[in-house]
Structure 1
Amino acid sequence: MLLNTDRYPLTRPDSVEWRATVCHVRTALRDDGCCVLADFIAPALIDTLRAEGAALAPEAYYRTETVNAYNLPLDSPLPSGHPGRITMERGNAFVPRDRIPPDAVIARLYALPEFRRFVADCFGLPAVFPLADPLAGLVLNVVRPGQEHPWHFDTNEYTVSLLTQQPEAGGVFEYCPAIRSSAEENLDGVRAVLTGGGKSMIRRLTLRPGDLQLFQGRYALHRVSPVLGGAARHTAILAYTERPGVIGSVARTRQLFGRVLPAHLAGAGTSVRPDALLD
């Protein structure tokens, strides 16, 4: 059994238990922009989950670079005082989808039809589709000791992730729910957080292996704080979209994975943005 069905009876769509869990998630997303379902993976698989992630981590593409919260080019013509002018060092790395074996726990979860239906129900969507991108659909995010995943926004409105290895210290997920909307960037609020203020807007989560996180990352500024100690932080990111066939851009794919595939080149210039936000 892949899921902790004692806590989350997701093998029975439309059951009272299924609807109760979906209601809980929707309420948390509405009020906080984030929901964590603790111990989502079956307890007997937690050691396997951790071991598989540790075995995959050396496959990550490492590229320390200077970035801003919007992933804009650093020479973008932004006005003085714009938060996009504030730079940070990004040291996290990604294991691409084509390095993750199909029998791994995270790959089985990603492909599970009941799980896709559950994700769609939680986000109030008729259906979700696995990202068609051969590298970015399912990835393992690796943050090594001394590194961090700095403040940023997600490209997708909805984010699904699963912690597979907890660091010894640090590596806390920090976020500012609904700091912006599809119609308003709230540059002042973003700048306050990036410059060390805005502490009242920041919430923090310490996750454990097997915890599932559903998150509205397009509108929440968020980061993983510096990882401390001897163990890296590993998180599987499961990317779904509202329509089939979505492929990442050539530039972004090369930045994250150091390479592109024919599918990215074929889809160049055809991406559709859900809004007019900066990133």
Structure 2
Amino acid sequence: MMRIEDIIDLDTHPLAQAGFGTRCDAILDDEGVLVLENFIRPAALAAILAESKAKQEEAYFCAQSHSVYLTPDDPAYPEDHPANRKVVSSKGCICDDVVAATSPLRTLYDDRTFRDFVARVTGQTELHPYADPLSSINIHYANRGQELGWHFDNSSFAITLLIQKPDAGSRFEYVKGLRDADANEMNYDGVDAVLQGTLQPRVLTMEPGTLVLFRGRNSMHRVTPNESDKTRMLAVLAYNSEVGVELSENARMTFYGRLS
């Protein structure tokens, strides 16, 4: 099993140093996204890639039609209204219980220094794994033509690690602060402008080994279709601010195809 210093480049990213955390916190608050390039050391990234390729045949693939808000249809509006207009997301996923106990991803996820850094930067008192056996660590796969449609996240932040980058397509696009979910301000006009292409998003470029913290609750975002035969592979590390939180059974069946 790799040690955490063999996985994270702690010289470039000194997670335990207060000053580094303060700078990262400021960037995340200002930009809505924190990009830590070359976060994972090459040998650890190679091990994660090898594991991801070996487990890909176990991935559950699905395609879903959903609104940008990830909510049921609102009968108060027509089908083509931004509240109800449908986009498509399609991907494969393997779950936490498929990720090996010796995987660098698990060592990273469980490491106290890393978890404390994420908590400090995102403003959480503490972070805990999901109580269900599937949701804490996921690896996502996008083959040619697969994409994530425009949406807002339900969670306040997301942590992703790019494992393999396709040769074309799969651009991460986002519009920061397009709505205010806490104030119930959905900004339908702004969402419509993005869907119509009259409001242009930012494009976030990244290379394999890059860790990204993203505030997607109020920032509309998508991943464009993969335009190559090289699979996009991405790890998602998910925590909760409270103990005992499970992803709902409906969500697990939708995204994973199973409950346990």
What is the TM-score normalised by the length of structure 2?
A: 0.92
Runs ≥4 residues deviating over 2 A = 70-73
Tell me the amino acid that sits aligned with residue 12 of structure 2: R
- C-alpha deviation, 1:32, in angstroms: 1.2
Matched, 1:127 2:137: no
Alpha-carbon contact 2:154-2:217 (below 8 Å) kept: yes
CA distance in 1, matches of 2:133, 2:152: 22
For residues 195-225 of structure 1, what are the alpha-carbon distances to aligned partners after superposition, in whole Å with 9 as ceiling and x for unaligned? 22211xx111121111000111111111111
Matches within 5 A, 1:150-161: 150-161=149-160
CA distance in 1, matches of 2:92, 2:152: 17
Alignment length (residue pairs): 252
- C-alpha deviation, 1:55, in angstroms: 1.7
- C-alpha deviation, 1:78, in angstroms: 4.2
Matches within 5 A, 1:4-19: 4-10=9-15, 13=16, 18-19=17-18
Report what 2:7 is aligned to. Answer: 2
Alpha-carbon contact 1:50-1:209 (below 8 Å) kept: no
User: 3-state DSSP class of the match of 1:170?
Assistant: coil
Alpha-carbon contact 2:77-2:83 (below 8 Å) kept: no
What is the TM-score normalised by the length of structure 1?
A: 0.86
For residues 57-100 of structure 1, what are the alpha-carbon distances to aligned partners after superposition, in whole Å with 9 as ceiling and x for unaligned? 22211112322212234x54241353132112221122111111
Alpha-carbon contact 2:174-2:202 (below 8 Å) kept: yes
Report what 1:109 is aligned to. Answer: 108
CA distance in 1, matches of 2:151, 2:228: 24
Tell me the amino acid that sits aligned with residue 190 of structure 1: V
In the superposition, relative to structure 1, how do residues 78 and 249 fare at CA in structure 2: closer, same or farther (>3 Å)? farther
CA distance in 1, matches of 2:69, 2:253: 17
Percent identity between the two aligned chains: 35
Report what 2:3 is aligned to. Answer: none
User: 3-state DSSP class of the match of 1:35?
Assistant: strand
Report what 2:232 is aligned to. Answer: 233
Unaligned runs of 5+ in 1: 262-279
User: 3-state DSSP class of the match of 2:174?
Assistant: strand
CA distance in 2, matches of 1:66, 1:20: 43
User: 3-state DSSP class of the match of 2:65?
Assistant: strand
